[in-house]
Structure formats: structure tokens, C-alpha cells
Structure 1
Amino acid sequence: MLQDVFHDILPFDTILVSTYKQGCAPILIYDNYPPERRQQGVERYIGDAYILDPFYTSTQQSCRPGVYRLSELAPDCFEDSEYYKHYYGALGLKDEIGIFIQLPGDIVMVFSLGLHETSLPLTRKSLLALKNLQPIIEPLAREYWKWQGVSFVDRLEHHEPVEAAFDSFGDGLLTQREQDIVKLLLAGHSTKSAARELAISDGTVKVHRKHIYQRLAVSSQAQMFRLFLDHVSLVSRQSGALSQVGP
């Protein structure tokens, strides 16, 4: 199995194999999470946590196939973000390696190798070995998808309600510019990074941030993150209720 090959190169703790397509929620292909961590590490991720994941975001921005460390794709203050603390911190992950494979139909398969706080540190030799292995894995993944992909395609779902919740957070309270800034802050961008992404000054971001906190009635990033989670949960429940009612 590829899992064993990966482990011989890098003694990882967890593996999560998912496929990503533009405008669709990720599909789980395989994982090795133990039962006691599966809800947090797998079900929560596939359910809604993926929306702030740097690996997911990169697939939506046409990231080139290859091998990446989490830090290469994450915003500058990702490890200080509430998302990192609630998801990665809760799982005890200190690093993650993503092996990105391009499949037909604009689908990207990602092998996510998780390293815990007690894991051996990632070495340049291991990372180079994985990068050399990636071109060999690609045709194998393509062949797998050719014969097995049809069994997963029916599970493709659009982002609703998670993407809708992300886009609608702050509706009626925040301007479009402020909503754009909130998305970047929730994803782990610093003030300077958010300013760079939006081509505005640091000072402008700080002013907007002050207004955002006032209008959302929060006083910290942690409170804003909890409010966002509540919003996602509410939109999900409303969407579920509507789907049960039917047309």
C-alpha cells in the first residue's frame, strides 16, 4: 500500500486522502484515524472544517501538483489562528505534509500526512524523497481514479451550506469589504497579509477590523471565530430543514 511506502519515508501519525473539485465539498477516500479521534479529525473536517484549511484553499486556487508543507501554503499567522487551535491543536498535530495529485476532470487528490507533537521531526531528506516519489504516485492515482472514481463522483456536493455560511457571515451588519477582511482573518492572515491580499494599507485593515468587532459585538478574534462557528451551524440546520420539506 502507498501508506506503507509513505511511512517508510516519513513516520507520520495520521493520513487523510481526499479529492477536491472547484465548487464542491471534499470527498473522503481513505483515512487511518483511530475511533477516538475520527470525529474531530475526519468527520468534522469533511463536514465543515475544510473551509478554512490551507490545503483545501490551495486546491481552489489552482495549486500546482507537488509536495507541500502546511507552512508553505498557510497564511502568515495561521498557527495563531483560532481555527488552528481548534482543529490542529485539538488533534495534537504539529505539522502536515500534502501530496497533491492532479486527476482528470479538474479534480485534485491530496494525501495529507499528519505529524503529532511526539513525532520525529521532518527532515529535508524525507521531504525530498516524497517529492521524488510524487511523479511515480501520480499515474497510480490516476489509474485508481479511472476505475474507482465513479463510486465517489455521486457523492460530490456543492459547498452549500458551508460555503454559503462563509460568504454570508456578517450579512446585514458588515460591508462587502469588511466581510472580505473577516474571511482572511479567520483563515489566519495577519493585518499586513490581509492588506496585501486586498491591495489596501495596513491602517485601512485596522480601521475595518475595529468596525467589524463593534458591529459583531465581539472584542477578540476568538469571540469572532465562535460566532462564525455558530453561524455555520445555524445555516446548516436551516438548510437541512429545507431539504426535508422539499419542493
Structure 2
Amino acid sequence: MILVEHLLEAPRGARGFDVLCEQLQTLCTFRNFIVFRFERGRQPTLVHTNLNFARIGEQMESYIRGLHMLDPFCRVDSDGHSGLFRLGDIAPEAFTSSEFYRRHYRFTDVIDELRYIVHLDEGMSAHLFIEREAPASPFAVTEIASFQSVLPFVTAFVRGQLRHGGNGDAGALPTTFNLPEKVRAIAPDKLTEREVEIIEMMLKGHSAKSVARLLGIEAGTVANHKRNIYAKLEIHSQAQLFDLFLRTL
């Protein structure tokens, strides 16, 4: 069981997050613990990990540069929600077939991911990644409930560590992240606003059926838009579309 007094006595900085990780691991076993800070108008910053810090920074370089815009957890955050979330509960139905999923998780054997999202100062939040890798089993309902039960303590701890600047300012480069603008930049002046919307949703892992439902159009109309998009961009697959998107980052 998590010991609150240990969190209260934890120092600021890396050792403090080590203590938090150790306490969370008393609830159940997990492999990866990664902390990112997000701030509006800036690149996300890797704050802490129980893994090799430099290696994780290299592996997540594309994520930091802009792929986080496709992250389902970031959508939840931008919608104003905070708390504990599970990837499988919030991701689009075709997410595991998306190029983002294939490439972002290509360095790992992650089979399940939970994430605490903690709102800090205005326009700033922290994400605590808690991941299991194969051959371990996905998180059980009872284990998720245990993480949920300590949400108030985790929230208070993270705010104490990271509010008002906190850790990890180095490397947080000013930049503008606007997903529609990045999509338009794939082919300036060629794509219609509807095509930009559909590309966004495809990149995020929505199926044609899901796109049609969310936009209130027929599935056949989505298919027609997709054909037009591929023709305009002179591509033949979502992998090629994703590569074009990467270039805009």
C-alpha cells in the first residue's frame, strides 16, 4: 500500500519521482515509469523515467517534436480532463492499426498503458506513463482500481514537484503545435478543410466508419475523400501519408 508519509518526505527533483515510482510499485508490478510535462505552445519535456533517461529521450524524439498531437491521452488532456486513464479505453477503434501506434511503440513491447494526467498551472499539465511490457499481462481491473484510489495523493505530489516551473525546463523549446496547420503543410493550398479533418482523424487512428460517424457523413463519402487525398498527394497508403506528415514536424 502506498505510504503517504514517504511522499510528503520526498525531495524535489529526480529522487522525488523515484520515491513516487517505488510507492506506486507497491500497488502492483509495472515496468516503465515516465513523466512528461506539457505546456501550451512548447514542446513536451521529459522530466523523469526509471529507465535510461538519454535513451528514452532519443526514442521519443519524434513524439516530442510533434507526434504527441496524435496521442489519445493528449486529446483527453486538451479536452480539459484530468485523472487516471487507460489507453484501451480512450483510443479510437482503429488505433492499434495506425502508423502512430506502430511507430511510436516500435522500440518497446508495451502491452498496456495507464496514465495519470495532472493539471498544473494554466496551460500546463503533467503526464505520468505507467506501462507494462510483454510477457506480463495487461493491468487487471483491481489493479487499476488501486491506482485510482491514490489519485488524490499522486495529484498533490506532482503539483508540488512541477507547479510554477518545476523540473525539466531545459529542452522545452518554444514552438507552435497546431495539428490542422501541420496537416495543411503536407500540401499547401491543395487540401480542402474537409480533407484536412479526415487526414487528422486517419492519423489519430480512426477507421473510415468512425470518421463517418463523427463527421456525420456517409462511409462512402469518406472513401471518396480518401481517394481524392491520395491522388492529390500522389501516395497509395497510410504509411506514406504518415511519412509526409512527419516531414511537416
The reply to whether TM is greater than 0.5 is yes
Give the superposition deviation at 1:210.
0.9
CA contact (8 A) 1:169 1:179 kept: no
Alignment of 1:58-137 (within 5 A): 58-63=76-81, 65-137=82-154
CA distance in 1, matches of 2:244, 2:185: 13
CA distance in 1, matches of 2:46, 2:204: 22
CA distance in 2, matches of 1:84, 1:122: 19
- Aligned partner of 1:185 in structure 2 is 202
Moved more, 86-95 or 206-215: 86-95
Distance change (3 Å), C-alpha of 1:131 and 1:141: same
Identity %: 27
Deviations 1:114-160 (A, max 9, x none): 22122233111110000011111112222222465277399362335
CA distance in 2, matches of 1:135, 1:61: 20
- Aligned partner of 1:29 in structure 2 is 47
Distance change (3 Å), C-alpha of 1:119 and 1:151: closer
Q: How many residues align?
A: 231
Find the residue that maps to 2:138 and give its secondary structure.
coil
- Which is helix-richer, 1 or 2? 1
- Aligned partner of 2:243 in structure 1 is 226
CA distance in 2, matches of 1:19, 1:230: 24
- Aligned partner of 1:239 in structure 2 is none
Q: Pick from 23, 26, 29 the counterpart of residue 5 of structure 1.
A: 23
| Residue 211 (structure 1) aligned with residue 212 (structure 2) | no
CA contact (8 A) 2:113 2:130 kept: yes
| Residue 144 (structure 1) aligned with residue 161 (structure 2) | yes
| Residue 38 (structure 1) aligned with residue 56 (structure 2) | yes
TM-score (norm: length of structure 1): 0.83
Give the superposition deviation at 1:31.
1.7
Distance change (3 Å), C-alpha of 1:58 and 1:25: farther
Find the residue that maps to 2:188 and give its secondary structure.
coil
Matched letter for residue 104 of structure 2: Y
Moved more, 8-17 or 175-184: 8-17
Runs (5+) with no aligned partner, structure 2: 1-18
Runs (5+) with no aligned partner, structure 1: 233-247
CA contact (8 A) 2:46 2:57 kept: no
